[in-house]
Amino acid sequence: MGIFNKIFGKKESSVVSTGPFVNPLEVEFHSHLIPGVDDGVETIEQSLEILENFHKLGMRKVITTPHIMSDYYKNGPENLIPLRDQLREKLAEKNIPLELEVAAEYMVDDAFDKKIENGNLLTFGPKKKHILIELPFMSEPNNLKKVLFELQIAGYQPILAHPERYLYMGNNRSRYEELKDQGILFQLNLLSILGYYSKQVQDSAFYLIDNKMVDLVGSDTHNMRHFSLIPQVFEQKYFRKVCDLELLNNNL
Ligand SMILES: [Fe+2]
CATH number of the CATH domain containing 180: 3.20.20.140
**Poorest-pLDDT segment among 29-38, 115-124, 157-166:** 115-124
Query: Total domain count for the chain?
Result: 1
**Residues paired with 218 in a beta bridge:** 189
Q: Is residue 15 part of a domain?
A: no
Q: Is residue 153 part of a domain?
A: yes
Q: What is the pTM of this model?
A: 0.90
Task: Indicate if the pLDDT at residue 126 is higher than 50.
Answer: yes
Distance 134 CA to ligand 1 centre (A): 8
% of the chain at pLDDT higher than 70? 92
* Averaged pLDDT score across all residues of the chain: 91
- In the chain, the N- to C-terminal Cα span, in Å, equals 16
Distance 47 CA to ligand 1 centre (A): 15
Residue 197 confidence (pLDDT) = 97
Q: Is residue 216 part of a domain?
A: yes
Distance 220 CA to ligand 1 centre (A): 5
User: What is the longest distance spanned by two Cα atoms in the chain?
Assistant: 49
Distance 8 CA to ligand 1 centre (A): 31
The angle that helices 77-93 and 44-56 make with each other, rounded to 10 degrees, is 60
- The alpha carbon of 19 is separated from its chain's Cα centroid by a whole number of angstroms, namely 26
Task: Indicate if the pLDDT at residue 136 is higher than 50.
Answer: yes
The residue segments making up the domain with residue 89 are: 3-10+25-246
Helices (H), the chain: 3-8, 44-56, 77-93, 112-118, 144-153, 167-170, 174-181, 190-194, 199-210, 224-234, 237-243
Q: Is residue 251 part of a domain?
A: no
Q: Is residue 223 part of a domain?
A: yes
Distance 221 CA to ligand 1 centre (A): 7
Strands 61-64, 27-29: pairing is: parallel
Q: Is residue 188 part of a domain?
A: yes
Q: Are the beta carbons of 240 and 3 closer than 8 angstroms?
A: no
Q: Is residue 18 part of a domain?
A: no
